[in-house]
A = this chain, B = another copy of it.
């Protein structure tokens, strides 16, 4: 009878502000989904708390978990491992709660393979609007600047192909609102509601 929660994945190019947006979302009291804390082998920075910011593990521990299939996704980044423990994700979904992951693009690709029914949101830099402005003010920009922007836009376009939604990070508050709106909307998708009805009607 228990309906499963939604797996929400926020990703995007590095430097786009995924962490800032995630922190803002979870500082809002009306956020109804849970955050999946990542695991890492890097040393904690000043003020970081084990089990709050990250689960801090040794390299040996981390590699043991990889071998046991305990990670939903992982990647090595500047000599350190980063990953998502799979058990907490599954337990949360089974409890019918939505869970939120904020991960790198290569991790998102791994999750998409295992959870194609997840909700994949690409956080994009405001390059499209910027590009528009640069084209409009064409006279004042060099050809090089415009070509560079075009190249970046093409790269982003390729990356976003795996995602269901694209949220422009033009303003943090707006980006958070859009992400929360997407989660609300997904719960109203006809296929989901229909599945609920059908389950209900079979009961008798």
Contact = CB atoms under 8 A, between A and B. Distances in A.
Interface in A124-179: 124, 128, 131-132, 135, 146, 150, 153-154, 156-157, 160-161, 163-167, 177-178
A181 B150 CA distance: 31
Nearest to A154: B201
Nearest to A200: B131
Contacts of A121: 188
Interface residues of A, number: 40
Interface of A: 121-122, 124, 128, 131-132, 135, 146, 150, 153-154, 156-157, 160-161, 163-167, 177-178, 180-182, 184-186, 188-190, 193-194, 196-198, 200-201, 203-204
A185 B183 CA distance: 8
Nearest to A203: B135
Contacts of A153: 197, 200-201
A164 B190 contact: yes
19 contacts: A128-B197, A131-B200, A146-B204, A153-B197, A153-B200, A156-B197, A157-B194, A160-B194, A164-B189, A165-B185, A165-B188, A165-B189, A166-B189, A166-B194, A180-B181, A181-B181, A181-B184, A181-B185, A182-B188
Tell me what chain A mostly uses at the interface: helix, strand, loop, or mixed: helix
A164 B128 CA distance: 28
Contact of A157 (B150, B167, B182, B201): B201
Nearest to A180: B181
Find the residue from A124, A193, A196 having the highest chain B CB count within 10 A. Answer: A193
